[in-house]
Amino acid sequence: MRASTPDVRVRRIYETPSPDDGVRVLVDRLWPRGLAKTDARIDEWPKALTPSTELRRWYHGPEGEYAEFCRRYEAELAAPEAGAALERLRDLAARETVTLLTAAKDPSVSHTSVLERELARGAGE
């Protein structure tokens, strides 16, 4: 049985790890610049949940627009491998705190906000 509200948080990977972070999950496809792997304290790095290279490049290019990025990323999350990784993260978030980590300067307009929504959508189903 899933919790009605999963405890999912979003933080920048460059912030100092906190004991309240729970399971720390890197949700970027590329390793963050300038950060030693030993300093990151990452528990999981499910690359299947990250936006594809093509989508990421499109979004950061001249044509990129956030609402369309969200639509395209949600479509990528519906693929079997991503869907399985998302379900695993939902199950984990139902049991304990999960902190999604990203190098994005503004996580509110990145793929992490889509992941947060998807994790909340799966709660209580």
26 contacts: CB under 8 Å, gap ≥ 6? 13, 32, 40, 42, 44, 45, 101, 102
Residue-wise pLDDT for 4-46, tens only, equals: 567 899 999 999 999 999 999 999 999 999 999 888 899 999 9
On the question of pLDDT at 124 being above 60, the answer is: no
Q: How far apart are CA 108 and CA 102, in angstroms?
A: 11
- In 3D, which of 48, 46, 50, 56 has the Cα closest to residue 28? 50
pTM metric for this prediction = 0.89
Share of the chain above pLDDT 90, in %: 84
Rounded mean pLDDT, 65-82: 96
- In 3D, which of 110, 116, 106, 109 has the Cα closest to residue 25? 116
Rounded mean pLDDT, 95-110: 94
